[in-house]
Amino acid sequence: MFSCMKTKHMSKNQDSNSKVEQKQPNLVLILVDDLGYADVGFNGCKDIPTPNIDRIAKNGVKFTNGYVSYSTCGPSRAGLITGRYQDRFGFSRNPLFAPNDPKMGLPLSEETLAEVLKKADYRCIALGKWHLGAEASLRPLKRGFDDFYGFLTGGHQYLPEKWDLENEYQVKSQYEAHRTKLLRNNQRVEEKAYLTDALSREAVSYIEQNKNNPFFMYLAYNAPHAPLQATEKYLNRFDTIQNMKRKTYAAMVSAVDDGVGEVLNRLDELELTDNTIVVFLSDNGGPLTHNGSDNGELRGKKGDLFEGGIRVPFAMQWKGVIPVGITYDKPVISLDIFGTIIAQTKTPITLKHSIDGVNLMPFILGENKCAPHDYLYWKKFDDNSYALREANGNKIVVTPTETMVFNLKNDISEQANLRAFENTTFNNLLKTYSQWDIENIKPVFLGLSDDKEYNKTHPNRFKKPD
């Protein structure tokens, strides 16, 4: 069906951007948590100003069909950090907090973006939420990052007075881990700032420290993920919002926006902007009632395979390379961030695994008129559900009780199930999905819904090893 030539995965920028060969670009990857699709200005938000996040879209490209590889936090991050569909290596569940289990997280068989960029002499830092494993061998400093400031769990309290557990071995249950003190590399620290502000501060500091080196900054804010907590500084900006949940959510988003502004300003001040790729996206769609988010006209929420669970706010800037104010409408996915940055390195890189992400630059710049991907795939193993989206807008969603066909170009809200009228389309896409799924494996660890079962088989889950 598709005759376009696809851009191959390259470690050297041989297929585009020939004018930018003098230096390896920095990468600032800003990932937020549970942000609604319609909760940024560049996607039409009216009640939460996001001028700094919007700067990224205005300075470069806004992806209107930007996706992540899963509809919840952990697997989505596993795909992002490896450039591969996470089902290929069994990361199909949100991992439990298990500081003694070397299998509860990103398998050591996988290569992270930080590990790859280290081959090209990048300095790498992870800031904020990790959620890819809490055991010593799975932590950021063992996965290619030179520095880490943040927390290992899937969520965290935002106010420092709530961080009353000294370390992971004072934790007695899954969600108590949200109360641990923050880590700087391998040491617990006494942080006094609101969590979002602390992460922004560390990001700016790292840019200053590494201004003379190519660097990769993975700035993973946990805002606006629950619990809904904000300081008066940010709450006072939203006196016109009467719903307290929405008001607090707006304050949390505003705190992130301030931090994004601080990062962009420091890049400008240090004259690094022209040599820095900045990407902004959410790890999945907004959960709606849980945090007051808004997915706009998209159907569904976090956890769903409808657009509201997997289509996210997504923008990228590289000033001087990506023209200002582009809107790119063909489907892209978070996996492409990996493919894009490694294509810009000057050092030839051998990858441990083939990746599913592609270099987006030829597509953004109009050098390749095709879609970056013929198909995008999603699988929820435990729910026995899956989805596939074709570049032309056809999409199937299959659950144990229903089969659905949508045409997203005509029906972005997925209201009209065309299954009865599009039997050939459904069967063709089902066959394509089945062929892709052959390469996937079963989950390699138990997930959040298996907490009680895991405790039975791991009675020393939180006990400090002798």
**Quick check: is 19 in a domain?**
no
Residues 221 and 261 occupy one common structural domain: yes
Q: Among residues 73, 124, 156, 178, which one is catalytic?
A: 73
**Quick check: is 131 in a domain?**
yes
Examine the residue annotation and report whether 9 is marked as an active-site residue of this protein: no
Examine the residue annotation and report whether 73 is marked as an active-site residue of this protein: yes
Q: How far apart are CA 2 and CA 21, in angstroms?
A: 32
Phi and psi based region of residue 287 (left: phi greater than 0; alpha: psi -120 to 50; beta: remaining): alpha
**Quick check: is 191 in a domain?**
yes
**Quick check: is 378 in a domain?**
no
Residues 339 and 397 occupy one common structural domain: no
Helix (H) or strand (E) holding 148: strand 147-151
What pLDDT is attached to residue 16? 42
Residues 97 and 204 occupy one common structural domain: yes
Residues 226 and 351 occupy one common structural domain: yes
Give, for all 466 residues of the chain, the pLDDT tens digit: 444 645 444 443 434 444 444 589 999 999 999 999 999 999 999 999 999 999 999 999 999 999 999 999 999 999 999 999 999 999 999 999 999 999 999 999 999 999 999 999 999 999 999 999 999 999 999 999 999 999 999 999 999 999 999 999 999 999 999 999 999 999 999 999 999 999 999 999 999 999 999 999 999 999 999 999 999 999 999 999 999 999 999 999 999 999 999 999 999 999 999 999 999 999 999 999 999 999 999 999 999 999 999 999 999 999 999 999 999 999 999 999 999 999 999 888 999 999 999 999 999 999 999 999 999 999 999 999 999 999 999 999 999 999 999 999 999 999 999 999 999 999 999 999 999 999 999 999 999 999 999 999 999 999 998 8
Question: What CATH number is associated with residue 114?
Answer: 3.40.720.10
**Quick check: is 456 in a domain?**
no
Residues 387 and 269 occupy one common structural domain: no
Number of domains in the chain: 2
What pLDDT is attached to residue 4? 67
Residue with tokens 């992460």: 199
Adjacent-strand bridge partners of 333: 67
**Quick check: is 104 in a domain?**
yes
Residues 134 and 275 occupy one common structural domain: yes
Q: How far apart are CA 364 and CA 367, in angstroms?
A: 8
What pLDDT is attached to residue 314? 98
Residues 239 and 368 occupy one common structural domain: yes
What pLDDT is attached to residue 21? 47
Residues 362 and 418 occupy one common structural domain: no
Of 344, 372, 400, the one marking the end of a domain is 372
**Quick check: is 457 in a domain?**
no
Residues 330 and 402 occupy one common structural domain: no
Of 372, 400, 424, the one marking the end of a domain is 372
Residues 313 and 332 occupy one common structural domain: yes
Residues 298 and 400 occupy one common structural domain: no
What pLDDT is attached to residue 12? 39
What pLDDT is attached to residue 23? 86
Q: Among residues 4, 9, 45, 131, which one is catalytic?
A: 131
Residues 222 and 324 occupy one common structural domain: yes
Q: How far apart are CA 309 and CA 286, in angstroms?
A: 7
Can you give the residue range of the structural domain that contains 413? Answer: 383-442
**Quick check: is 452 in a domain?**
no
